[in-house]
């Protein structure tokens, strides 16, 4: 199968058409028509085999996750997903692999209303690069800057499950059978908090998605906002699968630095706490207060009023 046959068979045939797409796959560029009074939010993520995923990952899960991690970036800015491009590098044409990969990709795309409007395919070591575009009402986008002294820190969902799921997949951890499927799915099929991000537009003072681990990602917010923070590790939301499978210290470590949670970390002022409850109620997403923004620039982890030390600070490329 040649390049253009591959594109037509596995991707163009399933690419849904949005009314705001003037010209999609098949030309030198795609053409889209943004809505009035909307800003365009753009993000790009690359997943490389043996860096971001192992060769034995189910291709359907890889297709879904490739888009989900991009959707999480849009969620952190309160944006509505719209269009994407896909650059796919493959060592060879494996039709069974491509069928499963594209199924996972379009399962996510159709659920979140994303149209594939272009991209590229080439031969080489397997990698997936997606550029996603979303729209957000002008002036309402959430950013990493804006957190202020006294704001409260929140996270959505639970933390650490994805990292534990990966260790279960790799045979580094054993857990009770009842938790296996849940943990593995938390790693393979993250839930980008798109609706929650939109609910936070007029409430949160800052936001970020958690890809490299809470203890690592929060530092981007603190730097951009020029503030510090204190986190009470006892408040970190942890699932029964995490707490029942690990010692207390290990559970804290996974929750703080495990990575690939793709939950949202956000800050809210005291004045907006009541409105937050109302706004988040319709999203179906749990959220937990874990600490507070402080003056200065230090991140302090505490437990029972005492400093809590963490040695593992999260993933970073080229470190």
Q: Does the annotation place 318 within a ligand binding site?
A: no
Q: Does the annotation place 22 within a ligand binding site?
A: no
Q: Does the annotation place 43 within a ligand binding site?
A: yes
Q: Does the annotation place 28 within a ligand binding site?
A: yes
Ramachandran assignment for 260, one of left (phi > 0), alpha (psi -120 to 50 degrees), beta (any other): left
Q: Does the annotation place 211 within a ligand binding site?
A: yes
Q: Does the annotation place 261 within a ligand binding site?
A: no
Q: How far apart are CA 41 and CA 46, in angstroms?
A: 17
Q: Does the annotation place 209 within a ligand binding site?
A: yes
Q: Does the annotation place 308 within a ligand binding site?
A: no
3-state SS string for the chain: CCHHHHHHHHHHCCCCCCCCEEECCCCCCCEECCCCCEEEEEEEEEEEECCCECCCCCHHHHHHHHHHHHHHHHHHCCCEEEEEEEEEEECCCCHHHHHHHHHHHHHHHHHHCCEEEEEEEEECCCEEEEEEEEEEECCCCCCCCCCCCCCEEEEECCCCHHHHHHHHHCCCCCCCHHHHHHHHHHHHCCCCCHHHHHHCCCCEEEEEECCCCHHHHHHHHHHHHCCEEEEEHHHCCCCHHHHHHCCHHHHHHHHHHCCCCCCEEEEECHHHHHHHHHHHHCCCCCEEEEEEEECCCCEEEEECCEECCCCCCCCCCCC
Q: Does the annotation place 217 within a ligand binding site?
A: no
Task: Measure the CA angle with vertex 181, ends 179 and 182; round to 5°.
Answer: 65
Q: Does the annotation place 73 within a ligand binding site?
A: yes
Q: Does the annotation place 206 within a ligand binding site?
A: no
Quick count: other Cβ atoms within 10 Å of Cβ 26? 12
Q: Does the annotation place 53 within a ligand binding site?
A: no
The answer to whether the CB of 278 falls within 8 A of the CB of 174 is: no
Q: Does the annotation place 115 within a ligand binding site?
A: no
Quick count: other Cβ atoms within 10 Å of Cβ 35? 11
Please report, in range form, the residues annotated as the binding site: 28, 43, 45, 52, 73, 119-120, 144, 209, 211-212, 260, 315
Please report, in range form, the residues annotated as the binding site for substrate: 52, 260, 315
Please report, in range form, the residues annotated as the binding site for Mg(2+): 28, 43, 45, 73, 120, 209, 212
Please report, in range form, the residues annotated as the binding site for ATP: 119-120, 144, 211
């Amino acid at each position: 199968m040649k390049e253009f046959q591959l594109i037509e068979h596995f991707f163009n045939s399933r690419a849904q058409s949005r009314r705001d797409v003037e010209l999609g796959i098949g030309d030198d560029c795609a053409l889209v028509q943004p809505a009035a009074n909307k800003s365009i939010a753009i993000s790009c993520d690359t997943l490389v085999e043996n860096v971001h995923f192992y060769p034995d990952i189910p291709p359907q899960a890889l297709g879904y996750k490739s888009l989900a991690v991009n959707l999480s970036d849009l969620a952190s800015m309160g944006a509505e997903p719209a269009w994407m491009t896909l650059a796919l590098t493959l060592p060879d044409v494996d039709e069974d692999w491509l069928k499963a990969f594209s199924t996972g990709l379009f399962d996510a795309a159709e659920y979140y209303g994303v149209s594939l409007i272009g991209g590229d395919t080439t031969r080489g070591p397997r990698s997936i690069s997606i550029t996603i575009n979303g729209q957000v009402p002008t002036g309402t986008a959430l950013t990493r800057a804006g957190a202020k002294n006294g704001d409260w820190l929140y996270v959505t969902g639970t933390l650490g499950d994805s990292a534990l799921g990966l260790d279960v997949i790799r045979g580094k951890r054993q857990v009770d059978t009842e938790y296996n499927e849940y943990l593995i799915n938390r790693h393979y099929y993250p839930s980008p908090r798109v609706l929650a991000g939109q609910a936070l537009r007029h409430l949160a003072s800052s936001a970020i998605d958690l890809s490299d681990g809470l203890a690592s990602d929060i530092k981007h917010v603190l730097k951009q906002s020029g503030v510090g923070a204190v986190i009470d590790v006892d408040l970190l939301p942890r699932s029964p699968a995490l707490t029942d499978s690990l010692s207390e210290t290990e559970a804290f470590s996974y929750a703080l630095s495990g990575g690939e949670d793709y939950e949202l970390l956000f800050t809210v002022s005291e004045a907006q706490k009541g409105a937050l409850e109302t706004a988040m109620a319709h999203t179906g997403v749990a959220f937990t207060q874990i600490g507070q923004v402080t003056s200065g620039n230090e991140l302090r982890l505490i437990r029972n009023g005492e400093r809590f030390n963490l040695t593992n600070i999260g993933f970073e490329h080229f470190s």
